[in-house]
A = this chain, B = another copy of it.
Amino acid sequence: MATDPSGATSPQPHPDRPHSAPTLAQVAERAGVSLKTASRAVNGEPRVAEATRERVLDAAHQLGFQLNRAASLLARGLTSNLVGLITGDLANPFYSAVAKGVEQELRSHGMQLTVASSDEEPARERGLIGEFVDRQVRALILVSTITDHSDLSSVQSRGIPVVFVDRPGVGIDADSVLLDNRRGARDAVEHLLAAGHTSIGFIGDLSRLDTHRERFAGFEDAMRAASLDPGRWVRHDAHDVQAALDEARDLLTQPDAPTALFTSNNRITIGALRAMIELDAWPALVGFDDFELADVLGVTVVAHDPVEMGRTAARLALGAMDRRHEGPSGIVLPTRLVQRGSGERLPRG
């Protein structure tokens, strides 16, 4: 019956287990209780005598016991307590702010955040999603660069909720938390129009992104409402600071350069700013997204709260993990125009 021929108690579990940690069984034995009782005590379950509990906890402490998460999850039929977040680039302050919000909310609910960067490459994002699913995250939060998410429904049907942040899911029914992009952009342009500008340029991010298209639509709304041609000074697909700088430089050195610029995100605003400094040309400027030092530089922006976006997304994910899908919710967060000078410059300064 006994596995051990000698009388001594020596488990001798696996040949080359890295650091064989003490098990609950050992704790139980030391405390002189059964496995289940030890389990109860360790997990703080109610039906345990106070004395017993203390004895177990003592033994656990002495042995340096630590619950084996994998075994615990397995026994409970769960898989992990990880939530995956994929953004374009963790080093971009917008994304890292979102990540911070997600992490805060998740942690306060006993979940862990694991992150990855897609570098805004759809193929890479797909790969990462696959990896995360393989590793059995409980939920997936995406700032997605993919333009069609219909194949992600297989992820959902695996019981893994998907939450879209900043950019909506396309061809899929899923939770999302977005900004009121169109409205924010319209506000910005109307602000420029109110200052008397009639020639307003637009520099935008990757045109395949919904966020971009919405902001452009807002730009168009405002221009059209003012009976102006929205298509005159428009540049798309400036997807990093350098590209934005190039576009801005080009725009501002035209013979009929616009007197004002609306830039569609923080990277682009910064690129445009660099061009303006380089050329010493100072059109009015309003940028989407706030950024550090924008106040110092006097840049008027369409601000919002990325940390709150992250928190909200995490809340949606947590909700979807429990209650079975009571129809996805799309949350839209507001933006607000923050005037700092650059957006208030007049047409002929």
Contacts and interface: CB of A to CB of B under 8 A. Distances in A.
Contacts of A64: 154, 158
Nearest to A89: B100
Most buried by B among A64, A99, A274: A99
Contact of A116 (B81, B107, B135): B107
B270 A292 contact: yes
A135 B133 CA distance: 19
Contacts of A297: 293, 296-297
A257 interface: no
Nearest to A135: B69
A136 B103 CA distance: 18
Contact of A136 (B66, B114, B115): B66
A91 interface: yes
Most buried by B among A14, A19, A104: A19
A273 interface: yes
Interface in A178-201: none
A255 interface: no
A27 interface: no
A93 B93 contact: yes
Interface residues of A, number: 56
Most buried by B among A81, A91, A274, A307: A91
Nearest to A97: B91
A68 interface: yes
A293 B270 contact: yes
Contacts of A93: 91, 93, 96, 292
A70 B80 contact: yes
A99 B103 contact: no
A90 interface: yes
A173 B158 CA distance: 44
Contacts of A77: 13-14, 17-18, 20
A332 interface: no
Interface in A10-50: 13-14, 17-21
A116 B103 contact: yes
A324 B182 CA distance: 56
A315 B78 CA distance: 31
B90 A79 contact: no
8 contacts: A66-B133, A66-B134, A69-B80, A82-B82, A91-B96, A103-B117, A291-B292, A293-B293
5 tightest Cβ-Cβ pairs between the two chains A and B:
A19-B159, A96-B96, A17-B77, A90-B100, A70-B73
